[in-house]
Structure formats: structure tokens, C-alpha cells
Amino acid sequence: MKLDPTQLAQFDELGYVFLPNCFSAAEIDAMRNASREIFEQTRPEIWRERDGTPRTAFACHLYHEACNLMATDVRLVEPVEQLFDEPCYLHQFKINAKAAFTGEVWQSHQDFPTWHKDDGMPEARAMNIAVFLDDVLPVNGPLMFIPRSHKSGALEASHDTQTTSYPLWTLDQKTVSELVAKNGIVAPTGEAGGMLMFHANLVHGSSGNITPYPRRIVYLTLSALSNAIVRPTRPEFIAHRDFTPVQATRTNRLAAYAEGRLMAA
Ligand SMILES: O=C(O)CCC(=O)C(=O)O
């Protein structure tokens, strides 16, 4: 699945593009079941909010078949390869839970500074591509983007280990205020099954979820093959060391998996 010229122009100008209805209801159902099974487990790859609620399941593509199929899905891999014009490897795979009532914030940040400082990623030739497993609403902690902020390059950030359980290189209020004054701030919302891709230097974050509606999102971080990390400091389940190019599966194996589960039920 390739981006069309309008989508390419939007990505270039605003730093993100949202594509609705990319995954079917059956595929999303299978991924929601997967996320339930995963978040029931206790393992080092599953990070929790300070109250113990699951926050993020890293690298679950290595131990859950549905996630494994999503990690090579052509709908996710192809548009990123198109933008970088080269094959990609998977730098990170995760499900962010943003649980009903207790899901905490993601502070305002750009992704590349964390990948660069913590993992030794050479350039901003990597990006997050996200699949909504729940309807993302204005009220349940949607991602918020500052459009065009990717054009500012990598901004100065400080290492925040206090605000949440997950350390992140975050931006200060002055920087965020100036960027918002210039470009505004948006929260792309949409139904489960939609897909959102955004530039590694796009400033983003999300607020806590105090609603009864969970907001689960799967993220693939795909990096250009020429941009392999050189100085990883984080565990392998957060910053992968396998630089094999992702072989996108052209047959829809996630749909077949979802149908198989339905027939077995
Ligand atoms: O899921 C979210 O709300 C934010 C995730 C995020 O910003 C990230 O993984 O870099």
C-alpha cells in the first residue's frame, strides 16, 4: 500500500498522515484479543504505570503470533519504505495501553532525540506508524501533534525520569508554547483500524485517560536499513539489534489468522 501524491504532500508539509479503515474489524478484534492476552502476563517487556496498570508491551511480536503478523504487514511497511526509498528494519514494536481511567500521559517529545541519544541512531530516517486498536476519541488520550514541528529538526530536550514510569527526552514548556503559537496543535482521532504515521521529529504527546474508554495503539518503529543504531543503551526489547530488512508479507496473513480464530471459536 503506497501513499498517493496528496498523502505524500501532507506528510511532507504537516509531518503526519492519517489513513482510516486500513484494518478490518476481524483483524482489530484479533489484535485486541492479543493485547488482552499479552497484558495479562508479567514479564520484563511489559511496563506498568505507577499504579501497576499495564502501560506498554514491548517486542510482543516475538511471542504473540498476531503481533508477529502485524510486524511484517505490507500496509505498514510499504509506506515507510516508500518515504525512505529503501528497505527498513524494525527498531521497536509495542502496544501502548492507555488504559481506561488510569492510562498516564506521554510528555511532549520528538522521537528521534530519544532514539539518537539512547540508542545511537544516526539520523531521523525512522518513524512510528501506529494502528488504532480502539476508537481514538478527543477524550481518551489521543496523540496530539504540533503540525509542521518536524521542520524544526531535533530540538533540545531533557531526560525526564520522574513524570511517568517510562524515561523520555522531553521538551520544555517554552519550546512547546512557541511551536503551538506558530502552528497550533491537533489530535487526529478516528475509528479502530485506522493508521497514523508521523515524522521522527514531529512534536507529540498525549494526556492521561480518565474516561471508561481504553485507547490501545500498536506502534511499529521502522528505520531505514542504512540508519542502524550504533550505541544502544536500552534493553534489546526496546531498541532491537536485529537489522534484517523486514520482508513485508503481501498476502494478508493477519486476516487469515483472524478468520482462523473466528472459525475455531
Ligand atoms: O501512545 C501514546 O500516547 C504516545 C506514544 C509515544 O509518543 C511514543 O511512543 O513515542
Domains defined along the chain, listed by start: 5-264 (2.60.120.620)
Q: Whose CA is nearest to atom 3 of ligand 1?
A: 206
pLDDT band at 265 (very low <50, low <70, confident <90, very high): low
Residue 264 CA to ligand 1 centre (angstroms): 34
Buried b (16+ CB within 10 A) or exposed e, 192-212: bbbbbbbbbbbbbbbbbbeee
The ligand 1 atom nearest the CA atom of 109:
7
pLDDT band at 3 (very low <50, low <70, confident <90, very high): very high
**Helical packing angle, 25-39 and 253-264, nearest 10°:** 80
DSSP class per residue in 131-197: EESS-B-TTS--EEE-TTGGGG-SPP-EEE-SSSSS-EEE--HHHHHHHHHHH--B---B-TT-EEE
Is residue 264's pLDDT more than 80?
Answer: no
At 210-255, the pLDDT tens digits run 999 999 999 999 999 999 999 999 999 999 999 999 999 887 899 9
Residue 255 CA to ligand 1 centre (angstroms): 26
pLDDT at 1: 83
Is residue 200's pLDDT more than 60?
Answer: yes
The ligand 1 atom nearest the CA atom of 221:
9
pLDDT at 214: 97
pLDDT at 209: 98
pLDDT band at 66 (very low <50, low <70, confident <90, very high): very high
User: Which residues have any ligand 1 atom within 6 Å of their CB?
Assistant: 96, 98, 106, 111, 143, 204, 206, 217, 219
Residue 86 CA to ligand 1 centre (angstroms): 25
Residue 170 CA to ligand 1 centre (angstroms): 12
At 119-132, the pLDDT tens digits run 999 999 999 999 99
pLDDT band at 61 (very low <50, low <70, confident <90, very high): very high
Residue 265 CA to ligand 1 centre (angstroms): 33
pLDDT at 92: 98
pLDDT at 251: 79
The ligand 1 atom nearest the CA atom of 206:
3
Asked if 205 contacts 106 with a C-beta cutoff of 8 angstroms, the reply is yes
pLDDT at 262: 56
At 92-120, the pLDDT tens digits run 999 999 999 999 999 999 999 999 999 99
